[in-house]
Amino acid sequence: MSLKKIAQLAGTSAATVSRVLNHPEHHCHKKGLEERIWQLASELNYAPNTSAVHLRKGMGKEELPYIVDIYLTRFHSMEEDDFFLELFQCLKEELIQNGCILGEVLHEPDIMALGQEGDSSVCIPYKSKENVKIEQKGNTLAFVTPKFNTGLIILGKCLANQIAVLKKRYQCIAGIDRNPTDYEYDEVICNGTTAAEMAMEYLLSLGHKHIAYIGDCNYESRYIGYYQSLLNHKLPLNHGNVYPTNQTMEEGIRAMKLILQTKEKPTAIFCANDTTALGVLKVLKSCQKKSYRPSVISIDNIRASEKSEPMLTTINIPKKEMGHLVLALLLDRKNGKHKEVVRVELPCKLLIRESCYFCS
């Protein structure tokens, strides 16, 4: 299948398709175009640079390249969170270097509930109800046709009721997250609780005691780290300082506007991710109350965090290393080199910039 055909279907140029498929560091400015190109390439069985990779690695023509599906658990699109977008870029580079092909990119809408009499305890990744009907057999609640020569990389926190079904479909699964599972599958983590405690310890060292939290609170390790740090310093948890969000920039903007309406404002704000924090800084920059300047800290170290005003203090999550190791684990299991579940934990690091101040 030619690049021109993919370009025609995607509504772009062949040159853009070539850059996306053959140069993982390239990023399209048009929202959703990159994912659309990769999905079309997968559907049309286009293998970018596969022949060249095979020649370099000495692979025979009869050996099929390994396909890797990606499941983005938290968001509907990579564009909603730059952390996962940058992580995705790292993964694509690793796939090309290892002669693998990117398969489907699954999102939450692709996970459909199956069951009888309204039972939604079993989930399965499918794109249409027709496929579900075809693959159901008899009274089996969740018959899943396995995908051969295909592995799955899970990005983010996967719900427990999805894991069992995903294991039926994929022989090899590996994940990247800040929330470790109970050794459900191979995973590379940078512990969110540790990262949160590191961020909180820095704020507390600056004299802050009235610290707000903006982020996910549902079994979320970063929220646990926030709460644990307060307990460790014998500080009360004020639920008025907790702002549950889906961790998008829009949610950060909304939460910050709510904080501005409070009577007793926090002296510091801990955001669960950089994208949320950038929304907070955007509101503060346009805020009429120029005298109110809380410290802001977050987790991820996305590229945009270095360009914010002020530059965002954050906890670095090593995305490139995580992308490298998660594919290494997936291929190692595929080749039968290990059977027990493996967890690799990478360290996080505090990056002190301009958005945090001593408490006055």
E strand segments, 60-169:
67-72, 101-106, 111-114, 122-125, 150-155
Q: What does the pLDDT read at residue 234?
A: 95
Q: Is the pLDDT of residue 196 over 80?
A: yes
Strand order in the sheet with 211-215: 242-244, 211-215, 268-271, 295-300, 313-316, 349-351
pLDDT digits (tens, 9 = 90+) for 322-345: 999 999 999 999 999 999 999 999
Domains annotated for the chain, with CATH where assigned, are 192-317 (3.40.50.2300)
Packing angle, helices 33-43 and 14-22, rounded to 10: 80
Strands 186-189 vs 343-345: parallel, antiparallel or unpaired:
parallel
How large is the C-alpha radius of gyration of the chain? 22
Question: CA nearest 262: which of 278, 283, 241, 277?
Answer: 241
Hey, what amino acid is at 350? Answer: L
CA–CA distance, 263 with 204 (Å, rounded to integer): 22
Q: Is the pLDDT of residue 206 over 80?
A: yes
More confident position, 109 or 148: 148
CA–CA distance, 80 with 44 (Å, rounded to integer): 26
pLDDT digits (tens, 9 = 90+) for 32-63: 777 777 777 766 656 555 444 444 444 444 56
Q: What is the mean pLDDT of residues 204-219?
A: 94
Q: What does the pLDDT read at residue 139?
A: 42
Cα dihedral value 344, 225, 218, 213, nearest 10: -130
Asked if the peptide bond before residue 310 counts as cis, ω within 30 degrees of 0, the response is: yes
Considering the entire predicted model, what is its pTM? Answer: 0.77
Asked if residues 112 and 136 have their Cβ atoms less than 8 Å apart, the reply is: no
Q: What is the mean pLDDT of residues 65-75?
A: 88
pLDDT digits (tens, 9 = 90+) for 116-169: 334 444 555 554 555 555 555 444 444 566 788 999 999 988 877 788 778 888
Packing angle, helices 82-97 and 274-286, rounded to 10: 140
pLDDT digits (tens, 9 = 90+) for 275-312: 999 999 999 998 866 788 999 999 999 999 999 999 99
Mark 1-13 as b/e (b = at least 16 C-beta within 10 Å). Answer: eebeebbeebebe
pLDDT digits (tens, 9 = 90+) for 85-96: 899 989 988 998
Start-to-end CA distance of the chain, whole Å, equals 64
